[in-house]
Amino acid sequence: MDLRLDGKVALVTGGSRGIGLAIAQALGRSGARVMISSRKAEALEAAAATIEGETAWYAANAGDPDAALACVADTVARLGGLDILVNNAATNPYMGPIIDISAAQADKTVQVNQRGVLLWTQAAWRASMAERGGSVVNISSVGGMSSDGYIGYYNVTKAAVIHLTRQLAFELGPAVRVNCIAPGLVKTDFARALWEGAGGERVAKGLPLKRLGEPEDIAGAAVFLASDAASWITGQTLAVDGGALAS
């Protein structure tokens, strides 16, 4: 299926590496003008050089409301609007049982993973999408559909993203479609502690497709959900997990 996004403007948070960069690259190959955002300017500059077509970058903390507004405004000013928002940025400052997480660690996780999705979507709606329509793609996790002994509170926030997707789809239609991707274990630096070594091999052997995910596996799903091929899809969460939820 040839999914084209010519004439569209996309903004990807957490776009300097891993899943976010793969999505930005795929959007660029499909014809979109792409803005990427993350915290570090040097990483953004290097990442932007790998994206086809017209590309820009803006350093912003995804959990900062003022940064969200400023980045969205810069996207509209530099690239002519905003049609596609990919809420990909995430953080995980704590691993272990959630009964032991500190208030500061819990607050930071919510600030970026959960509240950030809302703030960036609000900014995109008010700056462009309310008038011209668009598509929002949120990146959750299959962890938001199950329980885990290592990253339980991260998964709590990702479960919230799944419901937030449904709520925003209900409120923003028909102008804006809002969908979600729930990746399984993908080989990124962010998730390295979960997949590197024997642990990752055990996970892969237990999957129906017998391999861990690559960032490009998620990127293809994001392009589809952002495109007109998904024009009658909203409020949905697509698990891209190698069959983990079926195991």
pLDDT tens readout for residues 148-202? 888 999 999 999 999 999 999 999 999 999 999 999 999 888 877 766 776 788 8
pTM assigned to the model? 0.95
For residue 168, what are its two tokens? 């925003």
- How far apart CA 85 and CA 138 sit, in angstroms, is 8
pLDDT value of position 11: 98
pLDDT value of position 54: 98
pLDDT value of position 209: 94
Beta strands in 68-151 (DSSP E): 84-87, 134-139
pLDDT value of position 193: 73
Q: Give the tens place of pLDDT for each residue, 53-92.
A: 999 999 999 999 999 999 999 999 999 999 999 999 999 9
- How far apart CA 110 and CA 107 sit, in angstroms, is 5
- How far apart CA 9 and CA 86 sit, in angstroms, is 11
For residues 25-50, give the mean pLDDT: 98
- How far apart CA 171 and CA 165 sit, in angstroms, is 10
**pLDDT above 90: percentage of residues in the chain:** 87
pLDDT value of position 21: 98
pLDDT value of position 2: 67
pLDDT value of position 202: 85
Q: Residue 141 pLDDT > 90, yes or no?
A: yes
Positions annotated as catalytic residues are: 154
Q: Residue 49 pLDDT > 90, yes or no?
A: yes
pLDDT value of position 134: 98
pLDDT value of position 131: 97
CATH match for 9-237 among 3.40.50.720, 3.40.50.150, 3.20.20.80, 3.30.465.10: 3.40.50.720
pLDDT value of position 82: 98
pLDDT value of position 199: 72
Residues whose CB falls within 8 Å of the CB of residue 3, separated by 6 or more in sequence, listed in order: 30, 223, 224, 227, 229
| Widest pairwise Cα distance in the chain | 50
pLDDT value of position 247: 81
Compute the mean pLDDT over every residue in the chain, rounded to the nearest whole number: 95
- How far apart CA 125 and CA 177 sit, in angstroms, is 11
pLDDT value of position 195: 64
